[in-house]
Amino acid sequence: MRIVVLVSGTGSNLQSVIDAAATGELPVEIAAVGADRPGTAGIARSADAGLETFVVDFKDFATRGEWDAALLAAVQAYTPDYVVSSGFMRIVAPSFIDAFPGRYVNTHPALLPAFPGAHGVRDAMAYGVKVTGCTVHFADAGVDTGPIIAQTAVEVLDSDTEESLHERIKVAERTLLISVLKDLAAPFN
């Protein structure tokens, strides 16, 4: 199974996918890693791992539609079976979803449909929930919407800061993402 992973930032979850693919624990080929901005740690760590990388910088395009088309072309060039959004902080266009029907997977650091959006951890804490977690789902053109594949619950501790809670969620998120990718890869192996 060939995957393209999209990132916007640190890429620590991506690193766990890279490591699991390298050891053979996860039988996928990471065809490329792409980002929507230059200079991300996610792209740097992918290059360090010897992976193909690309950047479709949002700032390089005059219109949203041109960026959409460029992102789609960049991803399609690698003919992935699945596309994985791992901390990719952009909503893709309906044309992207149409190009990868049921084949675009996103991870989110909350138990969807609760707390979608860019601040899922902060919003869950602000609400005062005692349990939150992470979700891996098939993405559609909405904000963290689309059919849920798997979720893991994570307890919120009284002592938590947004950072400490997000770190614990990310530990669960990495295990969950790899487990989902293994299941998706099963028919290919």
Q: Active-site residues: which are they?
A: 108
Query: Can residue 173 be called a binding residue for ligand GRF (CB under 6 A)?
Result: yes
The residue to which tokens 């690193």 are assigned: 15
Query: Can residue 11 be called a binding residue for ligand GRF (CB under 6 A)?
Result: yes
Of 12 and 53, which has the nearer Cβ to ligand GRF? 12
Query: Can residue 146 be called a binding residue for ligand GRF (CB under 6 A)?
Result: no
Query: Can residue 87 be called a binding residue for ligand GRF (CB under 6 A)?
Result: yes
Shortest gap between Cβ of 5 and ligand GRF (angstroms)? 10
How would you list the strands of the sheet with 148-155, edge to edge?
53-55, 29-35, 2-7, 82-85, 104-108, 131-138, 148-155
Residue 147: exposed, middle, or buried by beta-carbon count in 10 A (0-12, 13-18, 19+)?
exposed
Q: How far is CA 113 from CA 102, 120, 125, in A?
A: 18, 10, 15
Query: Can residue 34 be called a binding residue for ligand GRF (CB under 6 A)?
Result: no
Shortest gap between Cβ of 101 and ligand GRF (angstroms)? 22
Site residues for ligand GRF per CB under 6 A: 7, 9-14, 42, 86-87, 107-109, 170, 173
